[in-house]
Amino acid sequence: MADPKAIQFLEGIYARVDKQVRDIITSMLPNMTIAAQDDGSVVANDHRILNFQGPGVAVSDEPGLRRVNVYVPGAPVDTTSGTFSSGAGLGKFLEIGVGGTPPTNWYQPSYSDTAWTASVASSHDYSGWVSPSATTWIASTTASTWADNFEVLHRRTFTLGTGTIAGATFVLNVDNRIIEFYMNGTAISGLGDGSPTAMRTLSISPSVLLPGATNLIALRIKNLAN
């Protein structure tokens, strides 16, 4: 016959472990309701059952493995989108001229562009060029013309909200060639010459973006000879 004190001791341990398990699951799944169903005592070798209740919860029984799988939906509770546009005073420029060499690691987030010049509204006539909605043509200077093969570097930071990034699209027009394009220090290909009649659109992999943090766009732009 089982010792009553031993049974009481085991049931006390069982109750504490059961509560700890429920507390852990509750902290991991705050939107789920969890209840404990007592099917008996330790002596009878019965068990307690955790009941998961909520929209989309599914259960799969695998008797051969002596387990039950509980699937809790992981869909986001909210979605949002944001747009970051060019504008005077946003981002920095550095002129490297014709045949110039960019500074080392100029495209990395850790690089300091404090000495670079803030962007200004371009005085060149771009009325015949297409451009993304709600954007402003910007430049390193208010000059209306540039020398052939003149190059500038541009850095622009922006902040993303927290959560999972489903996708991002980069849309621009440039006068008139992108030599290099980086997102958070990662080289991105697919953007070439600008055009008076068409914008450039490129999908950006979410893997190169930083949710809930500051992100950096870095461009090397060249004014091609006519």
| pLDDT given at position 58 | 72
Q: Is the dihedral of CA 180, 183, 189, 193 positive or negative?
A: negative
- Sequence ranges of the domains in the chain: 4-71, 92-223
Antiparallel, parallel or unpaired: β 214-223 and 177-183: antiparallel
Q: What is the pLDDT of residue 6?
A: 60
pLDDT in tens, 87-120: 999 999 999 999 999 999 999 999 999 999 999 9
How confident is the model at residue 44, as a pLDDT? Answer: 43
Q: How many CA atoms lie within 13 A of 19 on its CB side?
A: 5
Instruction: Tell me the CA distances in angstroms from 132 to 129, 137, 173, 175, 189, one per residue in order.
Output: 10, 10, 8, 14, 20
Q: Which residues of 113-124 are buried (b: 16+ CB within 10 A; e: fewer)?
A: beebeebbebee
CA gap 206, 170 in Å, rounded: 12
pLDDT at 25: 61
Torsion-angle region of 184 (φ positive above 0: left; ψ -120 to 50: alpha; else: beta): left
Q: What residues in the chain have per-residue pLDDT under 70?
A: 1-56, 72-77, 226
- Judge: domain 92-223, CATH 2.60.120.260: yes
pLDDT at 40: 44
User: What 8-state DSSP symbol labels residue 87?
Assistant: -
Q: Which two tokens stand for residue 17?
A: 């472990």
pLDDT at 51: 64
Q: Which of 191, 203, 199, 217 is nearest to 166 (CA)?
A: 203
Of 84, 87, 108, nearest to 170 by C-alpha is: 84
Amino acid 104 reads T
Residue 226 β-bridge partners? none
Strand boundaries in 72-143, DSSP class E = 92-98, 117-118, 120-121, 138-139
At 162 the pLDDT is 83
Residue-level pLDDT at 24: 65
